[in-house]
Amino acid sequence: MEADTHNVETKLKQAMLTAAPSTALGRQFAHAVAALEHRLSRRAELVAACSAQDAQVFQGWRQPGQRPVLVVANGLDLQQVQHISWQARLRQAQQRGYGIALFVGSSHTPNVDAARLIAQVASAMPGWQFVLLGGCGPALQRAGKPVLSANLHCLGLVTEQEKQLWLAEATVGLNPMASGSGTNLKIAEYAAWGLPVLATGLGVRGWNWQPGSDYLHVEASTASVSQGLEAALSFMQQGNAADHRLREQALQLGWPRIARHFGQALQSLV
């Protein structure tokens, strides 16, 4: 009865499987995904997406008179969150003598592309330590390019407790995405934990954030991300109001609240 569609898989698989060097099997698979997703979107009584942008795409595939696509945000287990202010993180970095830039990402192609960019930035910024959590780091190591520098730490899959440790210790959260769909849950985690965010516009998709006040906006290039990190500490000095505002926004993403919202939509079908 319900199609829970959190990303535009047609767009993701098209980018992943048909880019050069593509294969006939990859192109066939991308075509099959698109056909299946279009069919599900048309036939489902209720379709959910994680962002307004994705909801627009799905709505375009729906038939006239069908229910509008519902936007249901990604959620957090807020019981595990320990908020640390921008000011406290700034003091941590000053006491250590270096900042820690954190990126959390799976081995999904958009994340690996962002990790590759971060690796290039790391080699140009020895005064920072860069930490990659999740499958993106090992995928980057397997690829062998670019050459990984000593200040880039590819930790792979970690326990929830280890991830929470890095969320507490990091100075900034990175999300320099150049492609992808849906919303990035890491942005909600960064905000809830009090991490200032350095991201592309695509990296904060689905969030009503203003560049320069809510986050440090960068383009998906080595020069732009490097410049953003150079400005990060001064950005954090003026961030008390933004820190509080973003945390309050992230705290709206607890699973019980989201479940009630989605449950009400399902109940309307009965």
Q: Where are the beta strands (DSSP E) in 52-127?
A: 70-71, 99-104
Closest CA to 13 of 35, 44, 45: 35
Q: What is the pLDDT of residue 88?
A: 92
Cα distances from 165 to residues 114, 127, 143, 199, in angstroms, run 22, 21, 28, 22
Q: Which two tokens stand for residue 188?
A: 């909600």
| End-to-end Cα, the chain, rounded Å | 11
Return d(Cα 172, Cα 157) in angstroms, integer.
Answer: 20
195 — phi, psi (to 5°)?
-85, 125
* Cβ pair 198, 173 in contact under 8 A: yes
Neighbours of 31 (CB within 10 A): 15
* Cβ pair 103, 163 in contact under 8 A: no
**pLDDT tens per residue across span 240-259:** 677 777 777 777 777 777 78
Q: What is the pLDDT of residue 96?
A: 94
Taking residues 154-167, report their average pLDDT: 93
Taking residues 129-157, report their average pLDDT: 88
Q: How confident is the model at residue 128 (pLDDT cuts 50, 70, 90)?
A: very high
Neighbours of 137 (CB within 10 A): 26
Highest-scoring range by mean pLDDT, 131-135, 146-150, 236-240, 262-266 = 131-135
Tell me which of 44-58, 70-84, 119-133 is least confident: 70-84
Residue 21, preceding bond cis, omega within 30 degrees?
yes
DSSP 15-44: HHHSSSSP-HHHHHHHHHHHHHHHHHHHH-
Q: Which two tokens stand for residue 19?
A: 């880019």
Give the three-state DSSP class for 28. Answer: helix
Write down the number of H helices and E strands in the chain: 12, 9
The amino acid that residue 111 corresponds to is N
Length of the chain: 270
Q: Which letter does DSSP use for residue 22 in this model? A: P
